[in-house]
């Protein structure tokens, strides 16, 4: 019996088949046919993604907060770790936005004449205080109904903190959150399995309506993301390790290379944990600190995902003919930073979180299917970057806790 293809292989095959059929339809002048009969199939899939955005973000964030337990017990190591991850993720978002804008301003990202959603629908205030006030919800159900993701995030933080504060009295709600998230996770897995069909249908529509030239733009956005990955790893991680741990960048990357390679091929931070632990300990991290930091990092440190979300948002906004203002980019940084923390351990969550960021920006979520076919290629680089950040954090926290960093040969 032939071995069943993995989902990434199915998506890649669907992408290639969609490009070929789309090119054929383009030469035959069947763009209207694809828009009428094939694009709706992809739209159904996107609608299911949009349906999942609010419950996935709400439940995953509450579960992540509750899983930390009593924050007093986390102590100094926990706060320093979380602080490090939040700072590097915010920097990652900024790098992603800068690179995305450079590529966009250089004309390397396309404007799709036939793409839907090219009209700006998001409403933003020019007053910073009004924007700040709007982040905090006055009606929980209204926030859910409008898919106001920043408000949903605030709700998740408040509810998660409330469950922790309630102690035993909050146990029933905690159990409900765990159970509900398990159910939503299974629903999401079922929907994600439909993605090859959606990719096939949407790629036919995109290529048939825009022409094969769009493929060069996909290569450009992939190049943009990998340049951002490399800049973040070399400048931020190696600079942090050098400044706080005294380890040279060459020594750091040489020691972290096995974990980076394993993460690149497996696209799983969790599966890479044993290799990451060995690399961190060999570089001089204290055993107990690396044992705490690395699993937490695999859960909440998603710098690569943050870069991907920012670059992809700029790319898709450009495709839709939308020019994002500085204020809107600040919202992207905040949204992507918190969203990347909420992606942990959820199969296909990178796409769910990108849909969340697009929703926050008022960009047609249907645009996501333009880029989804090559998501696996993005995922390889962003997972390797995430793991590199986990190892660098374990070294920095070891030093901050008064430990000595002595790399083992």
What does the pLDDT look like over 175-185, one tens digit per residue?
A: 998 899 889 87
What domains can be seen in the chain, in order of their start residue? 7-400 (1.10.3860)
Weakest mean pLDDT among 30-44, 53-67, 237-251, 271-285: 53-67
Q: Which residue has the tokens 């030093």?
A: 399
pTM above 0.85, yes or no: no
DSSP string, 30-99: -HHHHHHHTHHHHHHHHHHHHHHHHHHHHHHHHHHHHHT--HHHHHHHHHHHHHHHHHHHHHHHHHHHHH
297 vs 128: which has the higher pLDDT: 297
Mean pLDDT across the stretch 356-377? 75
Q: Count other C-beta atoms under 10 Å from residue 158's C-beta.
A: 15
Confidence of residue 117 (pLDDT cuts 50, 70, 90): very low
Confidence of residue 67 (pLDDT cuts 50, 70, 90): low
Q: Tokens in use for 267?
A: 């696209």
233-237 long-range contacts, CB within 8 A, separation 24+: 233/385, 233/388, 236/88, 236/91, 236/92, 236/95, 237/88, 237/388, 237/389, 237/392
Q: Tokens in use for 92?
A: 């990652």
Q: What is the pLDDT of residue 206?
A: 76
Q: What is the pLDDT of residue 125?
A: 37
Summary mean pLDDT of the chain: 78
Confidence of residue 233 (pLDDT cuts 50, 70, 90): very high
Mean pLDDT across the stretch 217-221? 81
Counting every residue, how long is the chain? Answer: 409
The tens digit of pLDDT for each residue in 306-322 reads: 888 888 888 888 877 77
């Amino acid at each position: 019996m032939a071995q069943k293809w993995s989902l990434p292989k199915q998506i890649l095959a669907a992408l290639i088949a969609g490009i070929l059929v789309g090119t054929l339809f383009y030469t035959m002048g069947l763009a209207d046919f694809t828009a009428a009969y094939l694009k709706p199939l992809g739209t159904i899939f996107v609608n299911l993604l949009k349906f999942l955005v609010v419950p996935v973000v709400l439940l995953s964030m509450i579960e992540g907060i509750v899983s930390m337990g009593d924050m007093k017990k986390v102590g100094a190591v926990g706060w320093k770790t979380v602080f490090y991850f939040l700072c590097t993720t915010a920097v990652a978002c900024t790098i992603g936005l800068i690179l995305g804008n450079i590529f966009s301003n250089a004309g390397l990202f396309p404007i799709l004449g036939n793409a839907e959603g090219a009209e700006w629908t998001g409403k933003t205030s020019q007053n910073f205080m009004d924007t700040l006030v709007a982040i905090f919800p006055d009606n929980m159900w209204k926030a859910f109904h409008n898919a106001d993701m920043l408000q949903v995030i605030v709700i998740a933080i408040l509810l998660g903190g409330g469950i922790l504060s309630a102690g035993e009295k909050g146990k029933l709600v905690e159990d409900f959150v765990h159970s509900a998230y398990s159910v939503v996770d299974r629903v999401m897995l079922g929907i994600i399995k439909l993605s090859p069909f959606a990719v096939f249908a949407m790629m036919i529509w995109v290529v048939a309506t825009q022409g094969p030239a769009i493929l060069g733009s996909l290569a450009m956005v992939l190049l943009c993301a990998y340049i951002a990955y490399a800049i973040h790893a070399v400048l931020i991680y190696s600079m942090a390790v050098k400044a706080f741990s005294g380890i040279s960048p060459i020594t750091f990357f040489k020691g972290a290379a096995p974990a980076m390679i394993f993460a690149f091929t497996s696209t799983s931070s969790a599966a890479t944990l044993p290799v990451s632990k060995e690399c961190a300990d060999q570089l001089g991290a204290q055993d107990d600190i690396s044992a705490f930091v690395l699993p937490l990092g695999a859960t909440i440190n998603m710098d690569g995902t943050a870069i991907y979300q920012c670059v992809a948002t700029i790319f898709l906004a450009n495709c839709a003919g939308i020019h994002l203002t500085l204020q809107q980019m600040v919202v992207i940084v905040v949204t992507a930073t918190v969203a990347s923390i909420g992606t942990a351990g959820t199969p296909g969550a990178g796409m769910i979180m990108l849909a969340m960021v697009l929703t926050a920006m008022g960009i047609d979520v249907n645009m996501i299917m333009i880029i989804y076919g090559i998501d696996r290629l993005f995922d390889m680089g962003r997972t390797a970057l995430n793991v590199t950040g986990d190892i660098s954090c374990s070294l920095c926290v070891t030093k901050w806790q008064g430990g000595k960093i002595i790399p083992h040969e």
